[in-house]
Chain A
Amino acid sequence: MKATTEILMPNVLLTCITTGKFKTGCLSVNLLTPLCRQTASMNAAIPCVLKRGTATLPDMATISAKLDSLYGARISPTVRKKGEIQVIGFTSDFPDDAFIPEQSSNLEDVSYLLGEMLLMPSTQGGLLRKEYVESEKEKLLERIRGSINDKRAYSMQRLAELMCSMENYSVYKLGTETDVESITSQGLTRHYSELLASSPIEIFYCGSAEPARVKAALENALAALPRNSEEPDIGTEIRMNSLEEKPRYFEDEMDVTQGKLSIGFRLGDCMEDPDTAAIKVFNAVYGGCVTSKLFMNVREKLSLAYFASSIVDMHKGILAVSSGIEFDKYDAALSEIFAQLEAVKNGSVTDEELKAAKRAVAGAYRSTEDSLGALEDFYLNQALIGPECSPSELAALVEDVRKEEVVSTAAGVECDAVYFLRGIRKGDAD
């Protein structure tokens, strides 16, 4: 496996991860734009509207037939939140030519289709088709409303919203219902043109083709891409401390049988010069894997939760705990979750815990090289925040993490907000 990055056009980078071990290839085109309330919904709508039709393939049925004929190639619109950067675009995966039972050029054909989707939408009077815009607005509204369907994810989303209410990080990747409703075909077309000309673009290819072939295919596919000379300013602001001296407490009531307790922390000092390996190992020791303190104590030993785990967002410098509990276990679960963090801070981490955590993190990085999707996401993260190394090199760094580094990472971690999604209290339901 070899990764190379080159400049395709001004502010357009192509990263090729060349490897012959997969049966399919993966290609993604990503526009980077600041995540903010004013534009989040429009940004999210753009790839969804673009996938509806192109100048030569005017509707989804003809696009889908084209993809079928390329042996089940897929192109999906994507909207990702990476810290305070909104990453929008398309991800495609398609069978490698070597396995297709007839002569084929899937890489070129898929690249071309992707380019056409991005640059040559089906328009009416110079505007994105109103019917497509209106129809995709409806779908986006449903997706936003639908975020309550998965209670665990919803409670984590509410935590980010409430904890970071003063920061752009609080913005949901699809924006809000109100902002979606106010989208017009004129406004969206204008925004689309600006975005196309000004966003930095990151392209990733992962598969067996040589970089030169990939570059040629994309140069052809993106020949019509407009580029202006502005240097856009995008990035994520990292807050080092909690907003107030004590954690802020929030809760919502909903008709659910199991409560969802989510707790947000600022990683603090370790984000000055973040050591990804040490932070990931700290998270694994605390709550990021099944040998972690949260899993072993909160769930297994004390049966306080059906699940209890933590994740770190390296883009924003946040640690978040997610747990599912019975309503009356709230106090006990919360204090145990805090107590386990204190334990890490105090250095009560056994050699076994550390070893298991390192194995889990190193193993996850090593297996990244075995998955197209994971590789694509790894290199996108790397393009945004580093570090400049391959997954297996990072795995090696993880193996060298010492207990002192875990403890010193934990030292600066500060609870900022606690969110509880609870059932409706008897007596005060309407």
Chain B
Amino acid sequence: MKERRYDNISETLITETLSNGLTINIVPRPAFTKSFAMFATDYGGADRRFKLGGSWIDTPAGVAHFLEHKMFDMPYGNALSVLSANGASPNAFTSSGMTAYHFECTERFEDNLRVLLSFVSTPYFTAESVQKEQGIIGQEICMVEDNPGFVIYNNLLRCLYEYNPVRDSVAGSIESIAEITDKTLYHCHEMFYNPSNMTLAVVGNADPQRVIAMAQEILPKEPGEVPERDYGAPEAAIPHQAKISAEMEVSAPQFMFGARIRPERDGIARLRQSIIGEISLAMLLGPSSPVFNRLYSDGLLNGSLDYELDYTAGTAMLLAGGESRDVGAAMDEIISELRRVTADGLDRDLFINSKKSYFGDMLRNTGSFSTLAQALIEGAFADFCPLDAFEIIEGITVQDVQAFVFDNIVPEKLALSVIEPKK
């Protein structure tokens, strides 16, 4: 058990790697009532083709998400109900890169943690329960198709990527999930839910030693093989498709644009790149940026420009978007700003303020139990600690940000997804 203190932000991080390969990160918060735990596997919607024992295996789209739904089934009943009945708020999500199970509670943390670790490591599926779930997930797939936020995002990914399976919906399709059987689920659970491919994060009023002891007691003792994945052929330098539009029941046109960025894979380099990337996006598109203020004053933007940087399934991308009555004009403005920045460079005062502002955002995110836990999980899968960001940010210069923008945020690399209101 290693303990590291971060005095400038009054935090302590406890880390441990068990002999079965599981990494554990704990941030104790004794002044709070609640605790939050997240147990995750490095297995998401994009992990469809993988190599085990020398041969490549293909699985239908939607298995990781299907597993997430079915993991709560236990021989004794439903673990979700047990956790809820115990006063916890449990939930789970599947992204293209990971599946995570989590709960928050204000009492009986250890009982709840025991349930979490047990059900995630206990596969229990029957042909009937799998068939029933096909109906429930089918409904979910239909429901998200009504959600403009989902459609615009998925369409954009289909433009940015030609081969990487992140371009397919994490939940799969009605057709692909029809191919999933209880055997598929058992098999993928065995491959990806072994402790060497997993990580546990706890933030809250918890005793670190007891957390570690419980993980040791409940989870399998032996390390497992971590399957090698195939995310498809290398992508071309520019997006597969520059633009895509759809019509939906929305009140005003919505747009989202993005670019693939060249990801630093692991460790401090990756953490540093993500900080530089976030500051770049804030400077280019955030509330203090010239382009946001022009678009907003000119009525070309209804609310904010939202943006994020996302690392997943061996790739990374930046995404940004909003709502505009004239998407073409808004995009022209954004692109001419990118060209201006390429020619003139970035504003130094804006950089200094953006860095301060980002420091405040990090402080806020650290304050949130769930955001910090998720950051610790992402860090564990990519070999960095998110709390190091407070030190790294000091050394970041305007040149770093400029270099990131020149390399990654150039007009040629952008793809655009638009949702138009139905006529």
Q: Which residue numbers of A lie inside 8 Å of B, CB to CB?
A: 20-24, 59-61, 64-65, 67-73, 93-95, 98-99, 101, 131, 135, 138-139, 142-143, 145-149, 151, 254-258, 289-291, 296, 300, 303, 306, 324, 326, 352, 355-356, 359-360, 362-364, 366-367, 369-370, 392
List 6 contacting pairs A-B, 8 Å CB cutoff, sorted by A. A21-B29, A142-B303, A255-B249, A290-B90, A291-B84, A370-B32
Given the interface pairs A72-B358, A149-B251, A303-B132, the reply to whether A23 lies near B364 with Cβ below 8 Å is yes
- Tell me if A142 and B359 are in contact (CB < 8 A): no
Contact flag A23-B146 (CB < 8 Å), given A71-B356, A146-B252: no
Q: Which of B106, B288, B357, B422 contacts A367 (CB 8 A)?
A: B106
Mark B72-101 against chain A: 1 for CB-CB distance below 8 A, else 0. Answer: 000000101100111111100000000000
Q: Decide if B84 touches A360 in the complex (CB within 8 Å).
A: yes
B290 lies within 8 A of chain A by Cβ: yes
Are A71 and B357 also in contact (CB < 8 A) when A296-B81, A356-B85 are? yes
5 pairs of A and B residues whose beta carbons are closest in the complex: A72-B360, A359-B87, A145-B251, A68-B353, A72-B357
Segment 1-41 of B: residues with Cβ below 8 Å from A: 8-10, 29, 31-34
Q: Report Cα–Cα, A367/B366, bound state, in Å.
A: 17
Give A65 Cβ to nearest chain B Cβ, in Å.
5
Known: A24-B364, A71-B356. 19 other contacts (CB 8 A): A22-B367, A23-B364, A59-B293, A60-B287, A65-B288, A65-B353, A93-B364, A146-B251, A148-B249, A148-B251, A149-B250, A151-B146, A257-B142, A291-B81, A303-B132, A352-B85, A356-B87, A360-B84, A363-B107
B143 contacts the other chain (CB 8 A): yes
Q: Is the CB of B364 within 8 A of A306?
A: no
Render B270-300 as a binary contact track against A, CB cut-off 8 A, 1 for contact.
0000000000000000111010010011010
> How distant is the Cα of A359 from the Cα of B353 in the complex, in angstroms?
45
Give Cα A222–Cα B323 distance, bound, in whole angstroms: 35
Closest to A140 in B: B302
Given A142-B252, A256-B249, A363-B107, A289-B84 contact (CB < 8 Å): yes
Are B249 and A24 closer than 8 Å at their CB atoms? no
Residue among A59, A68, A143 with the highest chain B CB neighbour number at 10 A: A68
For A303, list chain B residues within 8 Å (CB). Answer: 132, 135-136
Could you tell me the distance between the alpha carbons of A142 and B323 in the complex, rounded to whole angstroms? 9
**Nearest Cβ in chain B — how far from A63, in angstroms?**
9
Among B78, B303, B353, the most chain A Cβ lie within 10 Å of the Cβ of: B353
In the assembled complex, the CB of B35 is this many whole angstroms from the nearest CB of chain A, namely 10
Cβ contact within 8 Å between B366 and A290? no
Q: How far is the CA of A20 from the CA of B249 in the complex (A)?
A: 47
Known: A69-B353, A72-B357. A363 touches B87 (CB 8 A): yes
Chain A residues whose C-beta falls within 8 Å of the C-beta of B218 in the assembled complex: none
In the bound complex, what is the Cα–Cα distance between A355 and B132 (angstroms)?
A: 29
- Are A23 and B366 in contact (CB-based, < 8 A)? yes
List chain A residues, Cβ under 8 A from B33: 366-367, 369-370, 392
Q: Which of B8, B85, B364 contacts A72 (CB 8 A)?
A: B364
Q: What chain A residues lie within 8 Å of B296 (beta carbons)?
A: 60, 135
How close is B393's CB to chain A, nearest CB, in angstroms? 10
Task: Please name all residues of chain B whose beta carbon is closer than 8 Å to the beta carbon of A61 when the two chains form the complex.
Answer: 288, 290, 293
Cβ of A283 to closest chain B Cβ, rounded Å? 15
Bound together, the chains give a CA A65 to CA B299 distance in angstroms of 21
B139 within 8 A of A: yes
Residues in A whose Cβ lies below 8 Å from that of B105:
363
A360–B105 Cα distance when bound, in Å, is 9
Q: Among A22, A99, A362, which residue has the most Cβ atoms of chain B within 10 A?
A: A99
Q: How large is the interface on B (under 10, 10 to 19, 20 to 34, 35 or more residues)?
A: 35 or more
- A306 near B140: Cβ-Cβ < 8 Å: yes
Residues of B within 8 A of A139 (CB): 302-303
Task: Determine whether B345 belongs to the interface, using a CB cutoff of 8 Å to chain A.
Answer: no
Which residues of B352-370 are within 8 A (CB) of A?
A: 353-354, 356-361, 363-364, 366-367, 369
Rounded to whole Å, the gap between the CB of A68 and the closest CB of chain B is 4
**Residues in chain A near residue B224, CB distance under 8 A:** none
Q: B411 at interface (Cβ–Cβ under 8 A)?
A: no
| Contact (Cβ within 8 A) B85 A23 | no
A21 to B287, CA, bound (A): 29
Q: A72-B361, A366-B34 are in contact. Are A255 and B422 (CB under 8 A)?
A: yes
- Give A395's nearest chain B residue, CB to CB: B106
Cα separation A405 to B289 with both chains bound (whole Å): 56
The yes or no answer to B266 lying at the interface (CB within 8 A) is no
Interface bits B216-229 vs A (CB < 8 Å: 1, else 0): 00000000000000
**What residue of chain A has the Cβ atom nearest to residue B323's Cβ?**
A142
Enumerate chain B residues within 8 angstroms of A255, measured Cβ to Cβ.
249, 422
Q: Which of B226-265 contact A (CB under 8 A)?
A: 249-252
Question: Chain B residues with Cβ under 8 A from A99's Cβ?
Answer: 8-10, 363
With A60-B287, A366-B34 known as contacts, the answer to whether A73 contacts B146 (CB < 8 A) is: no
CB of B104 closer than 8 Å to a CB of A: yes
Query: Contact at B360–A71, with CB atoms within 8 Å?
Result: yes
Within the complex, what minimum Cβ distance (angstroms) separates B214 from chain A? 21
> Which residues does chain A contribute within 8 Å of B107, judged by CB atoms?
359, 363, 366
Are B357's CB and A68's CB within 8 A? yes
Q: A69-B353, A367-B33 are in contact. Are A94 and B143 (CB under 8 A)?
A: no
Q: In the bound complex, do residue B89 and residue A257 qualify as a contact, i.e. CB atoms below 8 Å apart?
A: no
- Indicate if the CB atoms of B84 and A290 lie closer than 8 Å: yes
Shortest distance in angstroms between A16's beta carbon and chain B's nearest beta carbon? 18
CA distance A69 to B358 in the complex (A): 10
Q: Are A69 and B139 in contact (CB under 8 A)?
A: no
Q: Enumerate chain B residues within 8 angstroms of A257, measured Cβ to Cβ.
A: 142-143, 145-146
In the docked arrangement, what's the CA distance between A65 and B363, Å?
19
Assess whether B60 is interfacial by the CB under 8 Å rule: no
Q: Is the CB of A68 within 8 A of B251?
A: no
Q: In this complex, which of A60, A149, A256 has the most chain B Cβ atoms within 10 angstroms of its Cβ?
A: A149
Partner of B143, one of A59, A131, A306: A306
Residues of B within 8 A of A367 (CB): 33-34, 104, 106
Q: Is the CB of B106 within 8 A of A24?
A: no
Residue of B nearest to A142 (CB): B302
